[in-house]
């Protein structure tokens, strides 16, 4: 049905003056990339002399915390299949590949006393292979893979993490900085701290709300700043690279746009989610957002914690040292939520104390008609991405922004037209922001291939490439979205009419898909898109 309708849809959409007939171009120097992270794709969890990470420990000791009870011991096996990974990036015509380093693969115990030659060589080979094809490595120093031995010292809640992270960063800058020109220190610090320590969610899964997350954030910001100062003092002038950080959020859309209270809840959510780490680095005066300092201090006092706030205080010297420590603003975002105020009666039923109770915002996606995905939390609302980018632009005096992650999940298959629609619509929103003056220099699609999705295990797929996790070689096959994204990167424009069908290679791979992926494919997002197009055709003829 879909193939039959497509020509009519394109013709009708063209007559109606839709984006199909007017392909929109990005700036000529726009940076296109694709991303991954070490724990999610590498496997080789104990290969050579790699140390144990907090995710190795969590998935091995508490498999019940993972939806399908799985782990990433092998996952996509990029520790052995890295050449194919680079070929995939080349096929996508991207200029950048964003990947992360595994701290325990390079320094098994987290300390300088044991550096793995095999770990150093693995990333060196990957970097060289990327450069061979003129693909710029964008390296994340920390994407949630803390050595388990350091977690046993308290992890990010222990100030000792600051010099240890600096040692690790200095080593990788010495090893790779001659070839790596784009660094990010830490990926998504909110997740590192709140989901790692405040909730029973990401490793180390502490489930200790309201206190350790703020200790984590305090140490993480100081560690980030020390690494950036070290890079600028010792490496940047001769290595000619840039360094930043990647924050994340879902856009908080006021539940009722006419409600001043809901608009205030939206702003407060942005200050807590993005401002927690963005304000100390990117704002004019530094430090935590005023609303965060005041609310946590006041609630701490009400809750009987005495005069000390649960949010630690920076000294004036620390505020000065952290402010300005980024050459660009990395932002990851996938979806939006409707928000309203929690109120004094704690309608959100949040633990007291907790980050959510301190923020005082209730989030939901109930009642929205936004397209869904393979993840219960992820619904497509492109305007939210536009709003987010405009907010960062206004709040932090027009920093250079790189969208370092954006993408959508499904439950499997190759004919992922819903992902095509997601990318087209979100890129359209990003282009709207650029045209409205926001300084966005690049876009990194998430993700290169299907991989281990943290607590969701292998049940949710974000990849442009399908991975056969039953194959010894973890065979990778491009999805429809890979061909569309490659076209976008190659032409620098969104072409809504480009909707290729499965080619021979993809049809062969399709025949070998597990039954659950075939079932998902036949009843899932691609059929929703087909029916949506049918609706367009019918409505047009009925006018």
- The DSSP line for 130-186 is HHHTT-EEEEEEESS--BHHHHTTTGGGSTTHHHHHHHHHHHHHHHHTTT--EEEEE
Q: Label residues 192-229 b or e (16+ Cβ within 10 Å = b).
A: bbbbbbbbebbbbbbeebbbbbbbbbbbbbbbbbbbbe
Q: Under a CB-based contact definition with an 8 Å cutoff, are residues 90 and 487 in contact? A: no
3-class secondary structure, 504: helix
CA triple 35-41-44, angle to 5 deg = 145
The three-state (H, E, C) secondary structure of 226-248, written as one string: HHHHHHHHHHHHHHCCEEEEEEE
Compute CA distances 296 → 301, 313, 350, 351, whole Å: 8, 11, 15, 14
Cα gap 8→461, rounded to integer Å: 31
Cα gap 23→354, rounded to integer Å: 47
Q: Of all residues in the chain, what percent are helix, strand and coil, respectively (each to 5)?
A: 50, 15, 40
Q: Both tokens of residue 488?
A: 């976008």
Nearest to 314 by CA among 222, 212, 216: 222
Instruction: Using DSSP bridges, classify how beta strands 242-248 and 251-254 pair: parallel, antiparallel or unpaired.
Output: unpaired
Exactly one of 129, 267, 405, 453 is catalytic; name it: 405
Contacts of 110 (CB under 8 A, 6+ apart): 51, 103, 104, 146, 147, 149, 150, 164, 168
Nearest to 249 by CA among 224, 214, 276, 284: 276
- The DSSP line for 290-359 is HHHHHHHHHHHHHTT-TTS-SSPPPPHHHHHHHTT--SSEEEE---EEEEEE-TTTTTT---SS-HHHHH
Longest Cα pair distance anywhere in the chain, in angstroms? 74
Cα gap 218→311, rounded to integer Å: 8
- The DSSP line for 436-479 is TT--EEEEEEE-SB----GGGTTSSB--SEEE-TTSTT--EEE-
Catalytic (active site) residue 145: no
Stated length of the chain: 543
Cα gap 270→207, rounded to integer Å: 23
Helix (H) or strand (E) holding 252: strand 251-254
DSSP state of 272: I
Compute CA distances 56 → 59, 141, 189, whole Å: 6, 18, 20
Q: Which residues are annotated as catalytic?
A: 405
């Amino acid at each position: 049905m879909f193939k039959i309708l497509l020509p009519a849809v394109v013709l009708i959409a063209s007559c109606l003056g839709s984006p199909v007939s007017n392909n929109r171009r990005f700036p000529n120097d726009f940076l296109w990339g694709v991303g991954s992270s070490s724990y999610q794709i590498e496997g080789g969890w104990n290969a050579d002399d790699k140390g144990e990470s907090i995710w190795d420990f969590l998935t091995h000791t508490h498999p019940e915390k993972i939806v399908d009870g799985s782990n990433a011991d092998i996952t996509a096996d990029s520790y052995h299949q890295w050449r194919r990974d680079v070929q995939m990036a080349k096929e996508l015509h991207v200029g950048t590949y964003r990947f992360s380093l595994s701290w325990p693969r390079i320094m098994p115990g987290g300390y300088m006393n044991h550096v793995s030659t095999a770990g150093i060589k693995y990333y060196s080979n990957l970097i060289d292979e990327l450069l061979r094809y003129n693909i710029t490595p964008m390296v994340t120093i920390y994407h949630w893979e803390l050595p388990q031995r350091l977690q046993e010292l308290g992890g990010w809640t222990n100030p000792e993490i600051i010099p240890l992270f600096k040692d690790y960063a200095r080593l990788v800058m010495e090893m790779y900085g001659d070839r790596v020109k784009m660094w990010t220190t830490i990926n998504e610090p909110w997740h590192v701290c709140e989901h790692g320590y405040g909730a029973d969610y990401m490793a180390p899964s502490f489930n200790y709300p309201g206190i350790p997350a703020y200790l984590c954030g305090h140490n993480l910001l100081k560690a980030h700043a020390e690494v950036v100062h070290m890079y600028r003092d010792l490496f940047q002038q001769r290595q000619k690279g840039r360094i930043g950080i990647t924050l994340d959020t879902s856009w908080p859309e006021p539940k009722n746009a006419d409600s001043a209270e809901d608009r205030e809840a939206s702003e407060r959510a942005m200050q807590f989610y993005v401002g927690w780490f963005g304000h100390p680095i990117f704002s004019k005066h530094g430090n935590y957002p005023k609303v965060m300092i005041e609310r946590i201090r006041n609630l701490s006092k009400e809750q009987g914690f005495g005069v000390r706030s649960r949010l630690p205080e920076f000294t004036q010297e620390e505020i000065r040292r952290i402010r300005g420590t980024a050459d660009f603003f990395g932002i990851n975002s996938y979806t939006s939520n409707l928000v309203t105020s929690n109120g004094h009666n704690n309608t959100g039923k949040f633990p007291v104390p907790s980050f959510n109770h301190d923020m005082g915002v209730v989030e939901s996606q109930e009642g929205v008609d936004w397209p869904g995905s393979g993840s219960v939390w992820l619904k497509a609302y492109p305007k939210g991405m536009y709003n987010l980018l405009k907010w960062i632009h206004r709040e932090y005096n027009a920093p250079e922004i790189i969208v370092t992650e954006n993408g959508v999940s499904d439950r499997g298959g190759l004919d992922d037209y819903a992902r095509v629609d997601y990318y087209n619509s979100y890129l359209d929103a990003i282009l709207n922001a650029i045209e409205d003056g926001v300084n966005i220099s690049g876009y990194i699609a998430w993700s290169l291939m299907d991989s281990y999705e943290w607590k969701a295990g292998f049940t949710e797929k974000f990849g442009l490439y399908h991975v056969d996790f039953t194959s010894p070689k973890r065979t990778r096959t491009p999805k429809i979205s890979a061909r569309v994204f490659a076209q976008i990167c190659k032409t620098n424009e969104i072409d809504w009419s480009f909707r290729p069908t499965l080619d021979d290679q993809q049809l062969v791979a399709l025949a070998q898909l597990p039954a659950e992926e075939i079932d998902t494919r036949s009843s899932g997002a691609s059929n929703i898109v087909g029916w949506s197009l049918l609706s367009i055709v019918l409505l047009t003829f009925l006018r």
